[in-house]
Structure 1
Amino acid sequence: MLVATMGSIVFGCILPHGFEILEALSGDNPGLMARTRESAGQLGEQMRQAAPDVLVVLTPHGTRAEGQFAVANAERMRGTLEAHGAEVTLERAVDRGFAQAIAGEAQARGLPVALLNYATSEGPLSCLPLDWGALIPLHFMPQVPVVVINPPRGPDYGPHLRFGAALAQAAVAGGRRVGLIASCDWSHTHDEAGPYGHHPAAALLDAQVVAHLEAGDLEGLAHFDPQQIEDAKPDGLWQALVLAGALPRPGRQVQLLSYEAPTYFGLLCAAVVPGERLT
């Protein structure tokens, strides 16, 4: 595996965030998401080999600023997840300098960005919640500082591709070795017993997502019909398209590790990296 010496995105991946991916939160059914758990472990090992000095997590569930790319700018983030009588807590320092650099580069390109903090500008109270969309992927990753970003949702995906390009440029300009994680669950209407019921669009959309990834065509995720998105209810499109903008063609390779839908939503793990670093 080659290691970049200049600032760049050294490894990217798509990871889901179902609670039971963490074995400690799987209760008496550790096999429910075992395939995804194994793939997440493989992606974590690939990330460690790439040796990033900062991890950027794109989550759909963090603190939102409507219509804006919400970038955490607190000193740290901390979260606790509870399920099946167990809990998992994770805390990470925030790379505020890089968070501000990403925001500045995106704003210079005319993109709407909100830098988020809590209570005080710095110090022990400057702490934002670490949501499950960030905490679960980070559980498998090396312990380096983080930047957590919540992209806006909506039918216009051009800003997401442009934000990804801004993120990549900030890495180059700052000489940063960045690991980029798109936290994505897919269709949420696979199971009648789930909170959103069943719709046949779920299986169709997820199959198309898998096909796009197998073809290395992340940009193709921008072409789903709005009604299909409404019926299938994925929450991964926006983060995946930021990843596409950050690691564009040519020179990008995608390696699909696994897909499963053991409950009402789809889970997918994939490596998305510069071609020379994919083994």
Structure 2
Amino acid sequence: MSNIVFYGVAPHPPILLSEVGGADSRKVDRTFQAMQKFARQITESGAEAVIIISPHGFVFSDGVAINGSDILAGDLKKFRAALSFEYSNDLALVNEIVQQAGKKGIVTLAIDDVMASNYGITTTLDHGVLVPMYFLDRVGIKLPVVSISMSMLPVEELYAFGTAIKDACNRIGKKAALIASGDLSHRLSLEAPEGYSEKGAVFDRTIVDLLAKKDFRGILNIDTGLVEAAAECGWRSIIMMLGAADGEDTDTEVLSYEGPFGVGYMVAVLKPLGGNADSLLESLFDERAKKIEAQRAGESELVTLARNSLERYVMEGKKIKPDMGNSLLLEEKAGVFVSLKKHGRLRGCIGTIEPVTDSIGFEIVNNAIAAGTGDPRFDPVEPDELSDLVYSVDILKPAETIENMSQLDVKRYGVIVRSGRKSGLLLPNLESVDTVEEQVAIAKQKAGIGPGEPVQLQRFEVVRYY
């Protein structure tokens, strides 16, 4: 039986508090009432510590950060409210979570004030922690707090980190309440902080329905394109919380959901029932490996060449010579981009706008190696990463000059922007790039061209191979 005695999802809009929102806070009264009930349930749970996961702390892409200060403190002054908070940190639990996460191969840091200063960050508690804690304070909960920052790790690792929280609580015998702090879509209306998208409401309905039905696997498997389109800040916190409940029978209740300001606020609880349930942890990693295996079984000859090129170079430091015997295309000349992804996220992308070698085959070999070892945005690929990588190869057609952005189409055309000696390129049909304006802005940013600088535009088409 787990020592985590309460699981909950809490929104964190400062406007929820009358000290911040004034009369506007009445528009989220359902959420306020639900959070009061939420806090009372923690009081009744017998928790000896509160663990809260916030998406607004020091968020890392390759690991998890935990606040390691002796005293956890923060305020809501930037929201024009005279509200201050201070809690003791349960450092024994912090250190045990770090240890248990390390056993699962997840880099986890306890960041104290000295380390925070070195990183240029602060250990001051953010509103993702403070707004939920406001309601705990109101019902008189005076417990040590552990503040964990949400991470951009892949879903499987986030879930595994949750199991490390559970293992840590069990190991030191500490009963804890675990809160996943996060709002849902920020794109529910035209007035929403991130603008409107019809996918915002779709995402929110999906999360609410899946949680109500205890379909935790469904939450883990939500399409990442939908997640991006929703502009949410709670999905990953929820996944980390669900990992802590892995293998435990729970009952779920959505206490409230509303979105009057264009942002979705859900209050929900998972009640431990004391029994066992099927664990998802091992199957998540097995399924991920099988997906990669299936994709490689059906990959094109060009992608196989890219993969073999990088694997040989990383493992042996040698550059292979492409075999031109099976594909006439490999003997042609064209610009080529090779892209690498790891668990759905870009891991490297390097290419040539025009050919710089005698054939597409050699372009692929050179650019695959460069994507894995020379993309300045990423560290070089390590040998133990090779089995997790998936590849795509884009063969570029000749670029043509255009007069303005009306002649672009983000799905069909890539774009090249030029200003003097500076130039930048963005491929077509990229996830999360939905408009021509975004496409051009990103290309200009890559080139170091200022937002207001005039540019010459070219467009090009590609043939993409997987």
The alignment's TM-score, normalised by the length of structure 2, stands at 0.55
Map 1:151-190 onto structure 2 (within 5 A): 151-153=150-152, 156-190=154-188
- 1:86 corresponds to: 81
Q: 1:222 to 1:65 in 2, by over 3 A?
A: same
Distance 1:230 1:214, change over 3 A: same
Matched, 1:145 2:140: no
The farther-off stretch of 111-120 and 202-211 is 111-120
2:245 and 2:76 map into 1 onto residues whose CA distance is 31
Contact preservation (8 Å) 2:188, 2:262: yes
1:64 and 2:59 matched: yes
- 1:118–1:128: 8 Å Cα contact kept in structure 2? yes
The residue correspondences of 1:41-56 to structure 2 (distance < 5 A) are: 41-56=36-51
SS at match of 2:227: helix
Between 74-83 and 99-108, report the one with greater CA deviation: 74-83
Q: Shift of residue 272 of structure 1?
A: 1.1
Rg larger in structure: 2
Pairs within 5 Å for 1:120-269: 128-141=123-136, 142-153=141-152, 156-269=154-267
User: CA–CA distance in 2 between the matches of 1:112 and 1:168?
Assistant: 17
Instruction: Check whether the contact 1:252–1:274 (CA below 8 A) recurs between aligned residues.
Output: yes
Q: Is the 8 A contact 2:12 2:128 kept in 1?
A: yes
1:185, CA displacement in angstroms? 0.4
Change (3 A) 1:145 1:231: same
Q: Give aligned pairs, total.
A: 266
Which amino acid in the other structure matches residue 95 of structure 1?
A: D
The answer to whether the Cα contact below 8 Å between 1:7 and 1:175 also exists between their aligned partners in 2 is: no
1:235 deviation in Å? 1.1
**8 Å Cα contact 2:100-2:164 kept in structure 1:** yes
SS in structure 2 at match of 1:63:
coil
**Structure 1 equivalent of residue 94 of structure 2:** 99
Letter paired with 1:175: G
CA distance in 1, matches of 2:217, 2:233: 16
Q: Is the 8 A contact 1:219 1:244 kept in 2?
A: no
- Give secondary structure in 2 for the equivalent of 1:129: coil
Distance 1:219 1:82, change over 3 A: farther
Deviation at 1:66, TM superposition (A): 3.5
Shift >4 Å, 4+ stretches? none
Unaligned runs of 5+ in 1: 1-5, 122-126
1:90-149 Cα deviation digits (max 9, x unpaired): 11111111001001000011112121111389xxxxx82110001111111222011111
> Contact between 2:56 and 2:150, CA under 8 Å: does it hold in 1?
no
Instruction: Check whether the contact 2:211–2:219 (CA below 8 A) recurs between aligned residues.
Output: no
Q: How far 1:252 sits from its partner (Å)?
A: 1.3
> Of the two structures, which has the highest relative contact order with CA contacts closer than 8 Å and spacing of 6 or more?
1
Q: Share of identical aligned residues, percent?
A: 25
